[in-house]
Amino acid sequence: MVYRALVGDAAWFPEAIEGQLVTLRKHVPENVGAFQRWYSDPEVARLARYQDGPMRADEIDRFFQLRALGHESLTMAIHQRTTGRLIGSCAFSQVDGENGSAMFHITIGEKDSWGRGFGTEATRLMLDHAFGTLGLHRVALTVFEFNERAIRAYRRCGFVVEGRARESIWREGRWWDELAMSVIASEWRGRGARVAPRALPKVPAEPVAG
């Protein structure tokens, strides 16, 4: 049987998805400045990039135009809900309507926003969208084994490790595995389409980013 997800439907690319901690919104061209800052940061590159070092400015610009503004992937900006501050970006790429699958990517580029529950909630909102609205069957991702924060956030949303590319990443003088993780629609429904409960961190009041 050929599987067909609802891609092409009006709900495929929503204007916004509202959570408790974050709001996901379509990217706007002005977000390129934030992309330039995030992706030129060596620490972000270390965690998320195959090459050991950040992208050049022209590569970031191309990446932003293609990934954030283009229509080949479903990419949403992550805004802190209380302040509206732009803190990151998340995306489905390789959306395959025949087989009902997509690859998930996320970067919280504002490092002072790491570890405060934003990434977990953004991931959950994207999974809700994938399974609840798009009718996808499977969402997959890859992550370096040293990226414990990411792995914990993904596990909390229901991703399980399904494989590993052994010793495929050279970082800080040693080899690391790259993990393949996925979550299937039936598992997502089976857990009541919810993330495992977690005490939400207190979010201090912040000025609205200009």
Residue 75: in which H helix or E strand, if any?
A: strand 74-80
Nearest one of 190, 113, 189, 126 to 154, comparing CA atoms:
126
Q: Is the dihedral of CA 63, 67, 69, 71 positive or negative?
A: positive
Query: Looking at 64-72, 111-119, 132-140, 176-184, which segment touches ligand COA (CB under 6 A)?
Result: 111-119
CB-nearer residue toward ligand COA: 12 or 146:
146
**Which residue, 81 or 152, has its beta carbon nearer to ligand COA?**
152
Instruction: Single out the residue of 37, 166, 171, 198 in contact with ligand COA (rule: CB under 6 A).
Output: 198
87 and 106 in contact (C-beta within 8 Å)?
A: no
The span from the CA of 105 to the CA of 116, in Å, is: 18
Among 54, 97, 100, 117, binds ligand COA (CB under 6 A): 117
Q: Which residue is nearest to ligand COA (CB)?
A: 119
Q: Does 97 bind ligand COA (CB under 6 A)?
A: no
Asked whether position 102 contacts ligand COA by CB under 6 A, the answer is: no
Considering the complex, what minimum distance in angstroms separates the CB of residue 106 from ligand COA? 4
107 binds ligand COA (CB under 6 A): yes
Which residue number, 5 or 31, has a Cβ lying nearer to ligand COA?
31
Among the listed residues 125, 150, 179, 185, the single contact to ligand COA using CB under 6 A: 150
Contacts by 148-155, CB closer than 8 A, 24 or more apart: 149/114, 149/115, 149/119, 150/47, 150/106, 150/119, 151/179, 151/181, 153/119, 153/120, 153/123, 154/123, 154/181
Q: Does residue 148 interact with ligand COA by CB under 6 A?
A: yes
Q: Contact at 8 Å (CB) between 106 and 151?
A: no
Residue identified by tokens 């501050």 is 85
Asked if 120 is part of the footprint of ligand COA (rule: CB under 6 A), the reply reads yes
Beta strands 101-108 and 86-96: pairing type? antiparallel
Binding site for ligand COA (CB under 6 A): 44, 47-48, 88, 106-108, 114-120, 143, 147-150, 152-153, 156, 198
